[in-house]
Amino acid sequence: MSSDQPQPAFVLVRPQMGENIGGAARAMLNFGLDKMRVVAPRDGWPNERAVAMASGAGRVLDGAFLCDSTEAALEDCHYVFATTARARGLTKPVVTPETAMKQAAEMIAKGEKVAVLFGPERAGLENEDIARANAIINVPVNPEYASLNLAQCVLLTAYEWRRQSAEIVHERVDMAKTEWANHAEMEALERHYEERLEEAGFFYPEEKAEGMKINLRNMWSRMRLTRADVQMLHGVMRQMVRWKERE
């Protein structure tokens, strides 16, 4: 994932703690975002604590665009989202991170530039900044307990960006160097168990034997076994027989 990937710019407005700037850089890069803009960071720039916290995501900080006003940070942007935790008395569309990043992906695909504003840790964005945004992003947190910090808010928004813009495989099976057993292999396994269990006197009483065999076969087929599983189950049965023969 390179920085040539079209993507929204994440704008940290007047961030206070270097740790949070570094945390935001990591959160972004986890989901393939590396275009950060920083407006008037409290402790100047570059920020040592941000660099220390960013660990492998230092290049997000190195490439960050530094400026001294929100206006300057948004100059080239066509659409701006502002993240806020509380209502601000401004008439404005309010969307979830999911909807916002879906809209962002659509606009970016048309060549438009999109930015997301994140406010300072303590108080969040000023209304002056929010009035510059086209829409507000509000994370659907528990109304009785909302305590997302800056890096977490960046993390969830970046996660939604990747969810809306990347091809994600939602369900797969990690095959761990094996493959599904085919029908012949399953048949052989079922036969092996049936024969040995027959010898062992498992299918008793006789009038229940047929039903017991069907239940056993049904269980194997429901399980969807791999070749490795089949080999292991053959081994289990062989070992039980060996053990019995040692007696």
Give contact residues for a copy of itself (rule: CB under 8 A).
1, 26-27, 29-32, 55-57, 87-96, 98-99, 136, 139-148, 152, 155-156, 159, 162-163, 166, 168-178, 226, 228-229
Residues 6+ apart with CB under 8 A from 114: 8, 9, 77, 78, 79, 80, 81, 104, 107, 108
Whether residue 8 contacts residue 161, with contact meaning beta carbons closer than 8 Å, is answered with yes
Q: Least CB distance from residue 186 to a copy of itself, whole Å?
A: 15
Q: Which is closer to a copy of itself, CB of 175 or CB of 200?
A: 175
Q: Which is closer to a copy of itself, CB of 162 or CB of 217?
A: 162
Q: Which is closer to a copy of itself, CB of 92 or CB of 196?
A: 92
Q: Least CB distance from residue 63 to a copy of itself, whole Å?
A: 14
Q: Which is closer to a copy of itself, CB of 123 or CB of 173?
A: 173
Q: Least CB distance from residue 91 to a copy of itself, whole Å?
A: 5
Whether residue 11 contacts residue 118, with contact meaning beta carbons closer than 8 Å, is answered with yes
Q: Least CB distance from residue 161 to a copy of itself, whole Å?
A: 11
Closest Cα to residue 68, out of 46, 93, 95, 39?
39
Q: Which long-range contacts (CB under 8 A, 24 or more apart) does 235-239 make?
A: 237/192, 237/193, 237/196
